[in-house]
Every structure is written in C-alpha cells, then in structure tokens.
Copies of this chain bind each other. A is one copy, B any other.
Amino acid sequence: MTGWPPLLPARHSGHMDSSGRQATEGLRTAAGPRTAAGSQAAGPRSTAGAGPRSGPVRLADVAEAAGVSRALASRVLNGDPAARAAAETKARIVETAARLGYVPNVAAKSLRGNRTGLIGLVVHDLSSPIYLELMRGAREEAARHSYFLVLGDVDELLADEDAYRILISGRRVDGIIMQGGHGELDRRVGDIARALPTVVVNAPTDVEHEGATQVYPDEVAATRLLTEHLIGLGHRRIGLVSGPRQSMTNRLREEGIVTALAAADLELREEDRVHGEWSADGGRAGVDQLVDRWGGGADRPSALIAGNSLVGIGMLGALARHDLVVPRDLSVAAVHDTWINEHLAPSLTAVSLPLHEVGTVAVRTLLAGSHGGRHILSDPPPVLHGRGSTGAVG
C-alpha cells in the first residue's frame, strides 16, 4: 500500500570505494528472508514446520512440487537434450513450472553460467536521431536473442574509473557495442576488446583494434548516390559541409563524392568544402563560413552536400538566415534520412543509410563471437529520397 519498503540502507561511514559514490545505496527487492530458520545444518530435510514460502518461486519449489530433483527440473525446463526423462515426467515438470509461475533467477543463472544476458551499449551522443535508429536496431536484435541492452556513456566511462571497471571487468555485460568516432575512446578500444567481446559501430577508425570488430554502412556508396543525384539535376559545382576532416567517416564520404564527380569529369574544389562538427551547430557554422567566402558574389557552388542529417538541418536554418532560398539559389542534400527531413521547409533531400541494420548486425556479430576486422554493410543499399531541397540547376 504505502509502496516499497526498501529505502536506502543506512550508510556506512567510511568508504573504501575509490570514488566518492554511495556504492551501497540502492534498492532491495521484495524477497526478504525465506524462513526465519537460521541454523539447521545438515539435518535430514526438515520439510515440516516451514511456511509455504513467501518469496518468488525457485527451481527447487518446482522440483519439489513435481516430485523430481532440481537437476532434472533444470534440464527439462532448459530443453537440455541430456535430459532423459519420461515424456510424462517432462510434461509434469513443465506444467508445474507454469502453474507456479516459475521464472528463473537471473543472478543465479549468470553466476553459474558465466553469462549475463546483457550487452553494453556505449554511446556518446544520445541526442542524435541518427544514432537512435542504430540503437533501436540493436535493441530489437538483442531482444530476439533474449538479451537486454545496458546503456553506457563514453565520457562517463572514461571519466569514472570505477564505472569503467564495473562495466568492463566486473562481468556486468557479456559484450560491448561502442559508438566509434570518439578519439579518446578509440584509443582504449584495444584494452576493452581484450577484456570483452567488442564491436565498434558506425564510425570507422583507422586503427584496426585488435579483437574488436567494426560494423558500419557503405559510406562511399551513399555519398556517391547523393552526388549522382545532384549531377543528374545539372549541378556542376558541388560543395560540402562535413564533420572533422580527418575522421574516417568524413574521408569515406568525401571519397564517394569525389568518385562520382570524377566520373562526370568534375571535382570537389578545396574552397567548396568546410569541416567542423557533426551537429546542427556545425552545419550552421559551415554555412556561415562559406557565405563569408562567397562575399555575396555569384561565384559559388549550386549545390551543397551535408555531411550528415544534423549538419543538414543546421545548414537549412543558416541559409534561410542568409536569405538564400533553397533550392532556388542553392540545392542541399544530406547524408542520413531521419523523420525530421520531410517536415522541414523545404523538406530535405537525403540518402538513407541502413543504420537499423548496423545495430542489428552489431548485436548479431557480437553474439556470434566477434573476430576483429571490418564489416561493411552494403545490404540494404543506400536509398535516395529526393525532396524539396534539391532542384534542377538554373
């Protein structure tokens, strides 16, 4: 009625914990002591005297109710082929478990089985709709295998030695999926991968981390498609506002653009590209910088590619503020198709990457045992969504 009894347990005064946190603080689940019976050592089963048990149903309860041993109950309920039991017995066990509402205790399973059923998902950009799609894919695939996702944060993990140790070394999770593209983290991937199966997603790095598998979409194909679309519309000079120049993601995306342009005997001019952050602010800053370069003159690209969706949103806003009308004065096309794109004014042309699949495959790879190396997803291929922000040149 009044809710849950478990309050924060009385705090110990001295903490040996290296951090200043309240490690002991927390919840207690409902169970409580099973029977007040304290010591009754090895006496012959004292089935008498004990109440009907209050806590959750244990395997032992099922076994007892079904009149078999815990061992057999365990095997039958887990579908262990080594469980040689009469069909009738099997049925009885299963039925009893269902009747009693038996649910295995996860902690006990983990302890014994050395497997937690959890996958750590370590991100550093929880606000990006781009990353969310990946996260959803991962979650769904994990669920399919009865796994759950545990959320971690890169910066926190790096800042907090303890959290880091607990997550990585405390065997709290069976494996880790990390969002790459975070310099500091990228440098520690090796350590992590040595402790746990590790998959790095969606932001390839140059270093081939020992043991960590990389999973990412076909970036080159995506920007190639985008560029071909623009060329098809008659654009001959195309600019780019992207993320950090040296990041591998950017380099791959540039590669796609350059390739497509080259095929049409065009090139990506040095003066037409700007590099900054992978964010809306970055997009705005990029546009400001370009407009500044152009100085009001007409000597400018007729189309701009946004390094990602966020950058694209920032660009549209900034262009409007500079009184440049899209697509009349300038076409804009972005990498990543999110739900926002079609609601912008003008709606934003974009190429979609299979981020959902990246998440899916990351989990699958992890569960199958990661082997290091890179895994480029080319299926499904990038798809172009032509919208209002791109128009024919002229």
Question: For the complex, is A174 an interface residue (Cβ under 8 Å from B)?
Answer: yes
Closest-CB distance, A60 to chain B (whole angstroms): 14
Stretch at the interface among A19-27, A215-223, A248-256, A296-304: A19-27
Are A317 and B347 also in contact (CB < 8 A) when A7-B368, A111-B108, A172-B106 are? yes
Question: For the complex, is A103 an interface residue (Cβ under 8 Å from B)?
Answer: yes
Question: For the complex, is A80 an interface residue (Cβ under 8 Å from B)?
Answer: yes
Question: For the complex, is A42 an interface residue (Cβ under 8 Å from B)?
Answer: no
Question: For the complex, is A170 an interface residue (Cβ under 8 Å from B)?
Answer: yes
Question: For the complex, is A116 an interface residue (Cβ under 8 Å from B)?
Answer: yes
Tell whether, in the assembled complex, residue A370 and residue B3 are in contact, meaning their CB atoms are under 8 Å apart.
yes
Closest-CB distance, A320 to chain B (whole angstroms): 3
CA–CA, A339 to B314, complex, Å? 10
Closest-CB distance, A374 to chain B (whole angstroms): 13
Closest-CB distance, A87 to chain B (whole angstroms): 11
Question: For the complex, is A327 an interface residue (Cβ under 8 Å from B)?
Answer: no
Are A26 and B367 also in contact (CB < 8 A) when A3-B213, A21-B144 are? yes
Are A162 and B143 also in contact (CB < 8 A) when A16-B77, A26-B117 are? no
B76, B104, B144: which contacts A170 (Cβ < 8 A)? B104
Are A111 and B105 also in contact (CB < 8 A) when A25-B145, A27-B174, A197-B27 are? yes
Question: For the complex, is A344 an interface residue (Cβ under 8 Å from B)?
Answer: yes
Report which A residues bind B (CB closer than 8 A).
1-8, 12-17, 21-31, 56, 76-81, 90, 94, 101, 103-108, 110-111, 114-118, 121, 126-127, 129, 132-133, 135-136, 139-140, 143-153, 156, 160, 162-163, 165-167, 169-172, 174-175, 195-197, 210-211, 213, 280, 283-284, 313-314, 316-317, 320-321, 339-340, 342-347, 366-372
Contacts A16-B77, A29-B171 given; 19 further ones with Cβ under 8 A? A1-B210, A4-B371, A7-B368, A17-B79, A21-B145, A22-B145, A22-B146, A29-B196, A31-B114, A101-B169, A103-B169, A108-B111, A117-B172, A135-B151, A148-B167, A151-B151, A280-B343, A313-B340, A320-B346
